[in-house]
Structure 1
Amino acid sequence: MTNPLLHWDGPAIGLLDLDAFFASVEQLDHPEWRGKPVIVGGSPEGRGVVSTASYEARPYGVHSAMPSAQARRLCPDAIWTGGNFARYREMSNRVMSFILDETPLMEQVSVDEAFFDVTPGRYSRESPIEICRRIQSNVSELGITCSIGLGTNKTVAKIASERQKPRGLTVVPPGTEASFLAPLPVRAMSGIGAATERRLCEMGITTLGKLAEADLREMELAFGVHGPSMVVRAQGLERSQVLGADVEEDPKSVSNERTFPVDLTERDEVVAAVRHVSALVGSRLRRKGLAGHVVTLKLRRDMSHTRTMRSQLSEMTDDEHVFGEAAVALLDQMWAEGSPVRLVGVGVSGFDDDVSFQMDLLDQGDEEARLRKKRLRDLSVAADEVRSKFGSDALSYGRDLRFGYRQPKD
């Protein structure tokens, strides 16, 4: 009998996550390390952090972004290495080439993670499940392994990729998103960090099923624009687009980056930095008369560790209060509190696209929400005018004073 799952109807988005990638490459290159706890990271004698721990080290409680000194106490017999990032990039490129052999719609999130679109009929009529199995097989032949989540949107694919590790392939067929998500804790969804989880628990929301039933207005009051989007994602209704390499090279984008003299490690510092850089981008967008719907967040720890992620908005905007909060929502998908951040970048693109997404559910018939959004944008425009007339230092928010506001040059 033919497996009904092989007949996929609708979008098919995968998330490939290489299993304990750095440590796995080290064990591949050092056969004598196989089966032993291996930690890739900074020195335990300094302020280093763990980049990756092998699966043999994880039962001791060691995990990425943990201070190296703590990891040494938990697993004193582990093999330590500072890493070979040229080698990791080489292996990453080979893995990504396997995805590109199947579809040009690949969005690499980091050196060990990438979304890809294998919707039937776009570039292949083959089952998305069989494509994922082939990618996994090809990766295994390199001597490392990966886990893949497959669903109809990025949120489902990301969560699914973490359900069965290592070497897992978790498939969430179209129409089963809500039932798959409902029993999971809210923290399972990317974008919900420790602070958001605590606030949701205070509201009696502990599972994604409860979150899916939450009142949109109440969520907007509690979490801003991030609130309603969390509800839609928990319902399994997110509409995602995987942006291929052509978007990465699109010159029609407005962005800004800030490099900080001291690493940022606290959440409030990093959030303030994202909003600060977003304000710089918003000012440039308005001066150029541009509005876009694709938001990119970039975080860099050092020259060897840079992560980039994008999201789409349901409207065209030049307002940092809108796209900046979308960038903040990406933060928890890319960063764990305590991990150092040296550079923050925010970009907006998608200026000429034909946007036909669903209208913001909260704004439909909600005059108060529309007026609030308008007032915030008017405030940004007024700030632009003051700085233009009296200089970039004439008006600053508290977050800007922390980092030193400078109006960007075009």
Structure 2
Amino acid sequence: MIEYQALPQNKILCVDMKSFYASCAAVIEGLDPLTCYVAVVGNQERQGSVVLAASPRLKKEFGIKTGSRLFEIPNDPRIRVIEPKMATYLRISTEISRVFNRYVPKEAIHTYSVDESFIKVDGALHLWGDAKTIARKIKDDIEREFQLPCAVGIGPNMLMAKLCLDIEAKKKGIAEWTFADVPEKLWSIAPLREMWGIGRRLEKTLNSMGIFSVGQLARYDLEKLEKKFGIMGNQLYYHAWGIDLSDLGAPLIEGQISFGKSQILLRDYKDDAEIRHVILEMCEEVARRARTHRKAGRTVSLGIGYSKEEFGGGFHRARTIEQPTNVTMELYRVCLELFYENYTGHTVRNISITLGAITDDREVQLSLFDLGAEKRRQLGYVVDRIRDRFGSGALLRAVSYTAAGTAKQRATLVGGHKM
């Protein structure tokens, strides 16, 4: 049994803006986010364009959700298809953070994503009331000032607050979980992919071990989990008991840190030279993201999705290299190996690249037999500084100026979409 009395008993709010992009678009158009039928679509000129967000009612009544395609939206006069205004959405997100700042100092706020934030309110309880009272005040402020709906989960740590949000608060508006709720509310979660931090691939592995619910995970032998998953096995076990000792803003499962990028291509790519050009551009972006956090990785993953016109399919493969890296061309070399070993010549429509098995860049050991390694590493940081100062499009590889390149056009977007 876990001795919860010895653990920190914080009051952390996890605030989620309901269907944020769609709700913002609705308010801008003078509509009620909870009753209108709104879909935010990246490019209305392409029938295959992805739905970036859908209002709650559109999801419920028409089954249109994030990731659906424009051609799937019914021809119904009630439905409004709106192009995104990403810069506006980001400004609204910033203003919402200012609402949080009325109740707690900035260091007690962690912006997890554009529509989700964690807020530690322990130091504000004597000023504003208990955690539920503060949550209600924040919720009311946002709805009154922005006409935007939100939900708030409250827990003793970030993990419990997030789980409370996803499982209960999104239905009720505001909910709170304590460690006493673990057996009834946390352990009953099934299938496992509904547990924050467990994806379908990990769920499949756990299922093969006879684990189908969070309760079964909590009762599984810890040594066996650690032997199978390493440090992540330890964290999975304790997360099943609702325990998360990470500081505000730290990743909830540190063993799962990775840097990646996926891209749905604007057209079908059949020529392997064109596909290589896009892979190189994406390796550049993944490497840059790793360098931004002063990290490097040993496991390189490449996913290729084929066009639906050729009945879909594709492959996802990974390779672990000897030395951690965040150098673009080293990632590109591994991705090319995976590509040519598995590519079957089909038309490509989706590419994803991930760098995992992350370590601190300062801990990377240089080889005595590769005298140019440090120079290549530092060159990446120099390029990053130029782009940070003058913009992502200030310095591009030559492939980005070819017909296959996408980076030049994407450099004009905010969050990958129109401003």
Q: TM-score, normalised by structure 2?
A: 0.58
Q: Tell me whether 1:189 sits opposite 2:189 in the alignment.
A: no
State the superposition RMSD in angstroms: 4.5
Q: Give the aligned partner of residue 202 of structure 1.
A: 208
Which of 79-88 and 100-109 deviates more? 79-88
Q: Give the aligned partner of residue 19 of structure 2.
A: 20
Give the AA of the match of 2:208.
E
Q: Give the aligned partner of residue 242 of structure 1.
A: 248
Q: Give the aligned partner of residue 229 of structure 1.
A: 235
Q: Give the aligned partner of residue 335 of structure 1.
A: none
Deviations 1:22-81 (A, max 9, x none): 1112222223576332111223625432211101111222222334444x2698963211
Q: Give the aligned partner of residue 112 of structure 2.
A: 109
The Cα of 1:122 is off from its aligned counterpart by 8.0
Deviations 1:149-168 (A, max 9, x none): 00011111111112243661
1:144 aligned counterpart, secondary structure: coil
Q: Give the aligned partner of residue 51 of structure 1.
A: 52
Q: Give the aligned partner of residue 93 of structure 1.
A: 94
2:184 aligned counterpart, secondary structure: helix
Q: Tell me whether 1:80 sits opposite 2:81 in the alignment.
A: yes
Give the AA of the match of 1:116.
I
Give the AA of the match of 1:226.
M
Give the AA of the match of 2:174.
L
Label 1:132 to 1:347 Cα distance change in 2 as closer, same or farther (>3 A).
farther
The Cα of 1:11 is off from its aligned counterpart by 0.5
Mapping for residues 117-196 of structure 1, pairs under 5 Å: 117-120=120-123, 124=127, 126-142=129-145, 143-162=147-166, 163-165=168-170, 168-185=173-190, 186-196=192-202
Whether the 8 Å contact between 1:156 and 1:172 is mirrored in structure 2 is: yes
Inter-partner Cα distance in structure 1 for 2:27 and 2:43:
22
Label 1:216 to 1:47 Cα distance change in 2 as closer, same or farther (>3 A).
farther
Whether the 8 Å contact between 2:121 and 2:131 is mirrored in structure 1 is: yes
The Cα of 1:257 is off from its aligned counterpart by 8.1
% same residue: 21
Q: Give the aligned partner of residue 68 of structure 2.
A: 66
The Cα of 1:340 is off from its aligned counterpart by 7.6
Inter-partner Cα distance in structure 2 for 1:227 and 1:340:
29
Q: Tell me whether 1:391 sits opposite 2:372 in the alignment.
A: yes
Inter-partner Cα distance in structure 1 for 2:82 and 2:356:
29
Give the AA of the match of 2:83.
G
**Divergent runs of 4+, >6 A:** 74-77, 256-263, 282-286, 338-349
Unmatched segments (≥5 aa) in structure 1: 1-8, 245-255, 264-268, 287-318, 322-337, 352-376, 394-404
The Cα of 1:113 is off from its aligned counterpart by 0.7
Give the AA of the match of 1:407.
R
Label 1:164 to 1:229 Cα distance change in 2 as closer, same or farther (>3 A).
same
Mapping for residues 203-352 of structure 1, pairs under 5 Å: 203-243=209-249, 277=287
The Cα of 1:136 is off from its aligned counterpart by 0.7
Give the AA of the match of 2:112.
V
Q: Give the aligned partner of residue 42 of structure 1.
A: 42
The Cα of 1:230 is off from its aligned counterpart by 1.2
1:56 aligned counterpart, secondary structure: helix
Inter-partner Cα distance in structure 2 for 1:75 and 1:199:
42
Whether the 8 Å contact between 2:260 and 2:352 is mirrored in structure 1 is: no
Label 1:194 to 1:83 Cα distance change in 2 as closer, same or farther (>3 A).
same
> What is the count of residue pairs matched by the alignment?
294
Whether the 8 Å contact between 2:125 and 2:131 is mirrored in structure 1 is: no
Inter-partner Cα distance in structure 2 for 1:199 and 1:123:
46
Inter-partner Cα distance in structure 1 for 2:289 and 2:53:
34
Greater helix share, structure number = 2
1:79 aligned counterpart, secondary structure: strand
Inter-partner Cα distance in structure 2 for 1:215 and 1:273:
39
Inter-partner Cα distance in structure 1 for 2:115 and 2:358:
22
Inter-partner Cα distance in structure 2 for 1:273 and 1:210:
39
Give the AA of the match of 1:172.
W
The Cα of 1:14 is off from its aligned counterpart by 1.1
Whether the 8 Å contact between 1:19 and 1:166 is mirrored in structure 2 is: no
Whether the 8 Å contact between 1:153 and 1:239 is mirrored in structure 2 is: yes
The Cα of 1:235 is off from its aligned counterpart by 0.7
Label 1:138 to 1:348 Cα distance change in 2 as closer, same or farther (>3 A).
farther
Inter-partner Cα distance in structure 1 for 2:19 and 2:237:
31
Q: TM-score, normalised by structure 1?
A: 0.59
Give the AA of the match of 1:385.
S
Which of 86-95 and 119-128 deviates more? 119-128
Inter-partner Cα distance in structure 2 for 1:348 and 1:123:
41
1:57 aligned counterpart, secondary structure: helix
The Cα of 1:242 is off from its aligned counterpart by 1.5
Whether the 8 Å contact between 1:15 and 1:157 is mirrored in structure 2 is: yes
